């Protein structure tokens, strides 16, 4: 077994016994990158030299002080997390030369835990997309089938973990951007509760929805990364000063006697039959583990997409007003005065999907339309949140498909924005309600494409999700397949 294909906890065990070193692990990961990156294209920027130096330091630290939470483990960062001295593009032309003068809080925390950074992964421009095709740097491919998309917006992180181009990765999730690519690439992905992980240094898309979370090969690794990144940050005023439990403690507890809600609105016409069959099978598995499944209703589910595509663009058009060609980023040389410079900079700096969302958001917030769009959407959002509150009064966790279909083909949906938006139909409600969600692999289609199942819980119940997902993972006996690259 190659080192790059192992999990964080397996590698930490080997580092602890001295069986391997961080330099060997890091070299194995970069060897894998050299072999497959030309096909997968998971990264925008590789950090090979600094990674090898960090690995050497980690090996010294292990000998001197013993092992920390992530000492010597190669981790990839979605290119939306600011890294001091390393360019952070957000997949956009407008930030293609932006070099942050500080680290995001999550980067600081990973660094302090001893992580080695492999590089910055590809993503849809400003995290707006479900396929990683809107990146200015070109599309990432799905390691399971190179003619297909890896999902998005954190497609580079998901593909890098699936292909062995890092041991684990961070992504961000505004409407499914961690869970959807995790499902389509056959890895574990968690979106924590809004406020659980600091957004300081995360390039903002929709500030009331954005949340950073981990991509890992299994649930135990997810718990390990959550232990490092979760927690209050005084620099981020929406981060919550609530105590963070040790998530590893939830791993082996079992789910005997738990009640699982199956929302009837999530098993709809249009869902791929193979996806539905795989998700139905998970219901039998968790029942086999001692849980009881009941039907619950989330009656406003059919409105989630419309609410999201008002709220997210409204917040995005405000957040993206900062890209004006003055303080950082690309500037068009064509403008003769300030107003022309702004317009030409933004017209040339942003791609089509970003412009579309800026336009929707600006329209929805503009005088005369505010009540009909933004206010109405915010009211329906409250009803969506209430649906979840009522459902969680009857069950411990909710189980749904993560996506309606397996990975689709590159180019299949790029000309039809509404079709692309529909691929997030099962993940968006989580962000609107602010609750945590996790996607876990639950099987493969006949064509060999991974399928994911999503578990949801109430605010700050990440421990419960890890407990449930870990019990499922142990019982499911999902075939240990790897993409053939």
Partner 1 sequence: MEKIKISQDEVTHVAHLARLEFGEEEKEKFTSQLNDILRYMDKLGEVDTTGVEPMTHAIVQKNAFRMDVVGESLPPDLSLANAPESRGGCFQVPKVIE
- Binder of partner 1 out of 375, 394, 481, 482 (CB under 8 A): 375
| Footprint on residues 422-481 left by partner 1 (CB under 8 A) | 431-434, 459
| Smallest gap from residue 345 Cβ to partner 1 (A) | 8
Q: Applying CB under 8 A, does 267 fall inside the site for partner 1?
A: no
Residue 177 is among the residues annotated as catalytic for this protein: yes
Reading the block at residue 417, the tokens are 């924005």
Answer for the pair 442, 469: CB distance below 8 angstroms, yes or no.
no
Tell me the angle at which helices 462-476 and 273-288 cross, rounded to the nearest 10 degrees: 100
Counting residues that bind partner 1 (by CB under 8 A) gives 71
**CB of 62 or CB of 358, closer to partner 1:** 358
Q: Applying CB under 8 A, does 111 fall inside the site for partner 1?
A: no
Q: Applying CB under 8 A, does 327 fall inside the site for partner 1?
A: yes
Secondary structure tally for the chain: helices H, strands E: 15, 11
**CB of 172 or CB of 475, closer to partner 1:** 172
| Footprint on residues 344-363 left by partner 1 (CB under 8 A) | 344, 346-347, 350, 355-356, 358-360, 362-363
- The single residue of 21, 28, 78, 413 carrying the catalytic annotation is 78
- The single residue of 157, 172, 177, 470 carrying the catalytic annotation is 177
Q: Applying CB under 8 A, does 147 fall inside the site for partner 1?
A: no
Sheet with 292-296, side-by-side order of all strands: 43-46, 116-121, 74-78, 168-173, 211-216, 188-191, 437-444, 450-456, 397-401, 259-263, 292-296
DSSP code at position 211: E
Reading the block at residue 371, the tokens are 């009540």
Residue 78 is among the residues annotated as catalytic for this protein: yes
Q: Applying CB under 8 A, does 112 fall inside the site for partner 1?
A: no
Among candidate residues 211, 216, 172, the one with its CA nearest the CA of residue 192: 211
| Footprint on residues 217-236 left by partner 1 (CB under 8 A) | 234
- Binder of partner 1 out of 195, 401, 437, 452 (CB under 8 A): 195
* Exposure b/e, 437-469, CB count within 10 A at least 16 = b: bbbbbbbbbeeebbbbbbbbbbbbbbbbbbbbb
Residue 131 is among the residues annotated as catalytic for this protein: no
Q: Applying CB under 8 A, does 179 fall inside the site for partner 1?
A: no
Taking the CB of residue 37, how many other CB atoms lie within 10 A of it?
A: 19
What does the alpha-carbon distance between residue 98 and residue 303 come to, in Å, rounded to a whole number? 37
Burial class of residue 272 (count of CB atoms within 10 Å of its CB; 0-12, 13-18, 19+): middle
| Footprint on residues 90-109 left by partner 1 (CB under 8 A) | 97-99, 101-102
- Binder of partner 1 out of 152, 181, 201, 329 (CB under 8 A): 329
Radius of gyration of the chain (CA): 21
| Footprint on residues 63-82 left by partner 1 (CB under 8 A) | none
**CB of 119 or CB of 313, closer to partner 1:** 313
Q: Applying CB under 8 A, does 270 fall inside the site for partner 1?
A: no
Residue showing tokens 């959807």: 180
**CB of 40 or CB of 435, closer to partner 1:** 435
What does the alpha-carbon distance between residue 304 and residue 314 come to, in Å, rounded to a whole number? 15
Q: Applying CB under 8 A, does 252 fall inside the site for partner 1?
A: no
**CB of 233 or CB of 473, closer to partner 1:** 233
Answer for the pair 273, 367: CB distance below 8 angstroms, yes or no.
no
Span interacting with partner 1, options 144-152, 264-272, 286-294, 300-308, rule CB under 8 A: 300-308
Catalytic residues: 78, 153, 177
């Amino acid at each position: 077994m190659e080192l790059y294909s192992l999990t964080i906890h397996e590698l930490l065990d080997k580092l602890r016994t001295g069986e391997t070193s961080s330099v060997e692990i890091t070299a194995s990961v970069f060897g894998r990158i050299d072999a497959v990156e030309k096909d997968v294209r998971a990264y925008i920027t590789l950090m090979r030299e600094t990674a090898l130096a960090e690995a050497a330091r980690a090996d010294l630290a292990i000998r001197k002080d013993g092992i920390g939470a992530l000492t010597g483990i190669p981790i990839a960062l979605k290119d939306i997390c600011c890294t001091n001295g390393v360019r952070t593009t957000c997949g956009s032309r407008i930030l293609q030369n932006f070099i942050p003068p500080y680290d995001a809080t999550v980067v600081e925390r990973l660094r302090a835990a001893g992580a080695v950074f492999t590089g910055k992964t590809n993503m849809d421009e400003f995290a707006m997309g479900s396929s990683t095709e809107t990146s200015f740097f070109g599309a990432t491919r799905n390691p399971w089938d190179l003619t297909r998309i890896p999902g998005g917006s954190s497609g580079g992180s998901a593909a890098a973990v699936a292909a062995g181009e890092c041991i684990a990765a961070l992504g961000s999730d505004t409407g499914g951007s961690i869970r959807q690519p995790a499902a389509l690439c056959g890895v574990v992905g968690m979106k924590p509760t809004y406020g659980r992980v600091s957004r300081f240094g995360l390039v903002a898309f929709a500030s009331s929805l954005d949340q950073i979370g981990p991509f890992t090969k299994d649930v135990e690794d997810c718990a390990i990364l959550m232990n490092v990144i979760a927690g209050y940050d005084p620099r981020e005023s929406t981060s919550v000063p609530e105590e963070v439990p040790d998530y590893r403690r939830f791993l082996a507890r079992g789910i005997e006697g738990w009640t699982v809600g199956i929302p009837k609105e999530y098993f709809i016409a249009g869902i791929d039959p193979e996806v539905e069959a795989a998700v139905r099978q998970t219901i039998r598995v968790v029942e086999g583990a001692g849980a009881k499944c009941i039907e619950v209703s989330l009656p406003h589910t059919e409105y989630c997409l419309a609410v999201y595509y008002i709220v997210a663009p409204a917040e995005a058009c405000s957040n993206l007003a900062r890209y004006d060609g003055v303080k950082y980023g690309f500037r068009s040389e064509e403008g003769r005065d300030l107003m022309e410079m702004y317009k030409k900079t933004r017209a040339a700096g942003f791609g089509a999907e970003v412009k579309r969302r800026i336009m929707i958001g600006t329209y929805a917030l503009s005088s005369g339309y505010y009540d009909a769009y933004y206010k109405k959407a915010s009211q329906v959002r409250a009803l969506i949140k209430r649906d979840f509150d009522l459902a969680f009064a009857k069950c411990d966790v909710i189980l749904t498909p993560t996506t309606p279909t397996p990975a689709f083909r590159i180019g299949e949906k790029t000309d039809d924005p509404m079709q692309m938006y529909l691929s997030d139909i099962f993940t968006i409600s989580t962000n609107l309600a602010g609750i945590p969600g996790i996607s876990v692999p639950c099987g493969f289609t006949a064509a060999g494409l991974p399928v994911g199942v999503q578990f949801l819980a109430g605010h700050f119940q990440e421990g419960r999700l890890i407990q449930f997902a870990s019990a499922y993972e142990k019982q499911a006996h999902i075939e240990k397949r790897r993409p053939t690259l």
